[in-house]
Amino acid sequence: MIAPKKISITINGQVCEGEQGQTILEIARANNIYIPTLCYMKGLTPWGGCRLCIVEVEGNPKVVPSCATPAVDGTKITTHNDRLVALRKATLELLFSERNHICPICPYNKGDCGLQHQGLAHGITGIRYPYLYPALPVDVTGRYFGIDHNRCILCTRCIRTCDEIEGVHTLDVSSRGIKNQIVVDMNTTFGASDTCTQCGACVVSCPTGALFDKAAAFRGQWTSSVQILTTCTECPVGCGLKVHTKENRIVNVWGDPDSPVNTGHLCVKGRYQTWAEPRDRITTPLIKGQPATWDEALAAIKKAAKVKKAEKALLVAPRVTNETAAAIAGVAGKFGQTAMFVGANEAALCAEPSFTGDALRKLQDADAIIVLGAQPTRDNGVVASRIRVAVRKRGAKLLIFHARKSELDRHADVAANVVSLESKLWNKVKAALAGAQRPAIVYGPNAMTPIGVTVMERLIAIFEANTGGSEPLLIGLPVSANALAMSRAGIPAVEEVGPWLDAKPLKFLHIVVGDALDGGAGLLEEKYVPALLERIDCLVVQASYKSALTDKASVVLPATIWCEKTGTVTNLEGRELPLRPVVTVAGEARDDKAILESVYA
């Protein structure tokens, strides 16, 4: 690759180095020169709409938007003088007059609003233009966020974020002139949208209180909150989180922009589902449903565990930390059988754990992507967004082979049921893959079925024959959060818990559910499991949230949740990612590893 040519411009008398292709704003920022902005957002295509970033270029009588103007070698730029400040003030006054910016009743009041900040910074105390007082709607039908059009300045950051980062283009602008308004799909609501993934990236991008998070509203400014970096443990992508807290409670969760995994983007699970949903937390040990002390609970378990080793089993959710996984491997010898429970066809994916270095970045760069037996939209939202962006923005081909339809299908060149592949379809596949230079295969649990393996082999053969021998990038995509690393630690995976429980007559079963959001209730949906659990003398459930499973337990041990934990998880790229405590531990909950060691070590 040819290195971009170096250029030099002078900004306010200061010589600034940059590269050809950079905008005036980018070079100014790299040289610590401040230019006010509103519609600009790093990482998005510049729009040049708000005109707050205007500058003068020597020799040009007009002002230009620095965010959308490429810097030209040798030019002289002025960012601040009386004319520029007067123009910016007029722009801001027009923005304030156009809609209903009633700051005292806005969740972004006093510090979080870009428009308010610029108004104060420019000394605006009154408006010279008449207020229009439009009566615009407020849409609060979305589960996690809403939009108040009265506070919208039409900067289009949300539209560009949705289009360029989440890759769905749910949002756009309707109408003309003063009637311009942000619309969802073809003018529906967030609640009725069939394209919005609820990732919330548009809300983070909004510089005003127009788009707002419901759970975060009026919990205090995010600008003055404590921000702690940790890792999402809801799937094996392992996105970096920036968690905002105030007075020991979470006020919002954003993506960590510096995370090499997700570069600031999250899916609905990491962004909202872990904290913005009501859940019944278990904060004290329970014996037969009644609160007990830790000493009482541990004594009861130790007494019940005095049965033959063959009559005892340990079953674990595939989402514990690496440190807990090591502790489980350490105590496994005390049980007749130990396993982690995974989804259908996932055990084979875990049997030979394979990690793909830098998978997320490479995926977005791929020019042909095959999704085989995986459901990234449902299970790994950030992977789905990378795929959509590669297809919609970079023209990558997308081929999907799965037994179930998904939202990604509408972006695909070929979407086929993996069990009914016909020969004419294979010709279509060959045509779509012809000439691909950077192909990628994203394979999930259902690629491990006999038909899945056959399709995978055939695809690899097509790549070898059709793509000039380019080796496809192979990305294994389990559903379970830390299953690959747990498998590597020596914990075997089991898909059908019923037969596993029935293999030997059990008297004692300890289930580590940890902070699974369903409290382990999903286990009861498996065939035979509810009846088999009834036959066990002592069922110990280690969980964070109440569920139908904890209701069945003889002893319940309260476990910490993602934002209280210390430790590491390993993502699908093989990165060891840190978990940091964000808030103090609720009640008497304890770390999964500490609990296991206090009972069995």
- Per CB under 6 A, residues contacting ligand FES are 37-40, 48-53, 65, 67
Q: Answer whether 381's CB lies under 8 Å from 268's CB.
A: yes
Q: Answer whether 512's CB lies under 8 Å from 540's CB.
A: no
Binding mask 523-542 for ligand SF4 (x = CB under 6 A): --------------------
d(CA 180, CA 580): 44
Hey, is 437 helix, strand or coil? coil
Site for ligand SF4 in 218-237 (CB under 6 A): 232, 234-235, 237
Is the CB of 39 or the CB of 384 nearer to ligand FES?
39
d(CA 519, CA 517): 6
Is there binding between residue 205 and ligand SF4 (CB under 6 A)?
A: yes
Residue 593 CB, nearest distance to ligand SF4 (Å)?
21
Q: State the sign of the Cα–Cα–Cα–Cα dihedral 346, 352, 353, 354.
A: negative
Hey, is 286 helix, strand or coil? strand
d(CA 454, CA 465): 17
> What does 188-226 look like in DSSP terms, one character per residue?
B-TTT-SS-----HHHHH-SSSSEEETTTTTS--STTSE
Residue of 101, 244, 269, 388 that binds ligand SF4 (CB under 6 A): 269
Is there binding between residue 575 and ligand SF4 (CB under 6 A)?
A: no
Hey, is 301 helix, strand or coil? helix
Is the CB of 155 or the CB of 184 nearer to ligand FES?
155
> What does 573-588 look like in DSSP terms, one character per residue?
T--EEEE---SPPPTT
Residue carrying the six token digits 């962004």:
271
Is there binding between residue 196 and ligand SF4 (CB under 6 A)?
A: yes
Q: Which does 319 bind (CB under 5 to 8 A by kind): ligand FES, ligand SF4, none?
A: none
14: left (phi over 0), alpha (psi -120 to 50) or beta: beta
d(CA 403, CA 163): 28
Is the CB of 38 or the CB of 549 nearer to ligand FES?
38
Q: Which does 49 bind (CB under 5 to 8 A by kind): ligand SF4, ligand FES, none?
A: ligand FES
Is the CB of 144 or the CB of 545 nearer to ligand SF4?
144
Q: Which does 168 bind (CB under 5 to 8 A by kind): ligand FES, ligand SF4, none?
A: ligand SF4
Which pair of tokens denotes residue 414? 């070929």
Is there binding between residue 200 and ligand SF4 (CB under 6 A)?
A: yes
- CA dist 74 to 20, 62, 84, 196, Å? 11, 18, 21, 45
Q: State the sign of the Cα–Cα–Cα–Cα dihedral 235, 236, 237, 241.
A: positive
- CA dist 268 to 381, 382, 544, Å? 7, 9, 21
Burial of residue 287, with CB atoms counted within 10 A of its CB: 0-12 exposed, 13-18 middle, 19 or more buried: middle
Which pair of tokens denotes residue 2? 């040819």
d(CA 274, CA 169): 25
Please give the size of the binding site for ligand SF4, defined by CB under 6 A. 41
Binding mask 362-401 for ligand SF4 (x = CB under 6 A): ------------------xxx-------------------
Q: Which does 50 bind (CB under 5 to 8 A by kind): ligand SF4, ligand FES, none?
A: ligand FES
Residue 535 CB, nearest distance to ligand SF4 (Å)?
35
Is the CB of 25 or the CB of 216 nearer to ligand FES?
25
Residue 43 CB, nearest distance to ligand FES (Å)?
14
Name which of 565, 571, 570, 554 is nearest 595 in CA terms.
565
d(CA 472, CA 452): 17
Binding mask 50-69 for ligand SF4 (x = CB under 6 A): --------------------
Is the CB of 113 or the CB of 543 nearer to ligand FES?
113
Pairing outcome for strands 249-255 and 286-287: unpaired
Residue 170 CB, nearest distance to ligand SF4 (Å)?
4
Residues whose CB falls within 8 Å of the CB of residue 105, separated by 6 or more in sequence, listed in order? none
Is there binding between residue 162 and ligand SF4 (CB under 6 A)?
A: yes
Q: Which does 51 bind (CB under 5 to 8 A by kind): ligand SF4, ligand FES, none?
A: ligand FES
Closest residue to ligand SF4 using C-beta atoms: 270
From 57-65, 197-205, 315-323, 577-585, span contacting ligand SF4 (CB under 6 A): 197-205
From 102-110, 149-157, 416-424, 470-478, span contacting ligand SF4 (CB under 6 A): 149-157
DSSP conformation class of 270: I
Residue 94 CB, nearest distance to ligand SF4 (Å)?
14
Is there binding between residue 118 and ligand SF4 (CB under 6 A)?
A: no
Q: Answer whether 219's CB lies under 8 Å from 246's CB.
A: yes
Residue 160 CB, nearest distance to ligand FES (Å)?
12
Is there binding between residue 325 and ligand SF4 (CB under 6 A)?
A: no
Is the CB of 50 or the CB of 489 nearer to ligand FES?
50
Q: Which does 372 bind (CB under 5 to 8 A by kind): ligand FES, ligand SF4, none?
A: none
- CA dist 347 to 427, 480, 518, 541, Å? 32, 10, 21, 23
Q: Which amino acid is at 553?
A: A
Q: Which amino acid is at 396?
A: A
Residue of 199, 315, 497, 501 that binds ligand SF4 (CB under 6 A): 199
Pairing outcome for strands 439-443 and 368-372: parallel
Residue of 50, 253, 266, 595 that binds ligand SF4 (CB under 6 A): 266
Q: Which does 48 bind (CB under 5 to 8 A by kind): ligand FES, ligand SF4, none?
A: ligand FES
| DSSP strands (E only) in 111-248 | 138-139, 145-148, 171-174, 181-184, 211-213, 226-231, 240-246
Number of C-beta neighbours around residue 419 at 10 A = 13
Q: Which does 238 bind (CB under 5 to 8 A by kind): ligand FES, ligand SF4, none?
A: ligand SF4
Residue carrying the six token digits 């055939």:
458
Residue of 211, 489, 561, 577 that binds ligand SF4 (CB under 6 A): 211
Q: Which does 569 bind (CB under 5 to 8 A by kind): ligand SF4, ligand FES, none?
A: none
Is the CB of 39 or the CB of 479 nearer to ligand FES?
39
Q: Which does 156 bind (CB under 5 to 8 A by kind): ligand FES, ligand SF4, none?
A: ligand SF4
Residue 486 CB, nearest distance to ligand SF4 (Å)?
16
Binding site for ligand SF4 (CB under 6 A): 147, 152-158, 161-162, 166, 168, 170-171, 182, 196-202, 205-206, 208, 210-211, 232, 234-235, 237-239, 262, 266-267, 269-270, 380-382
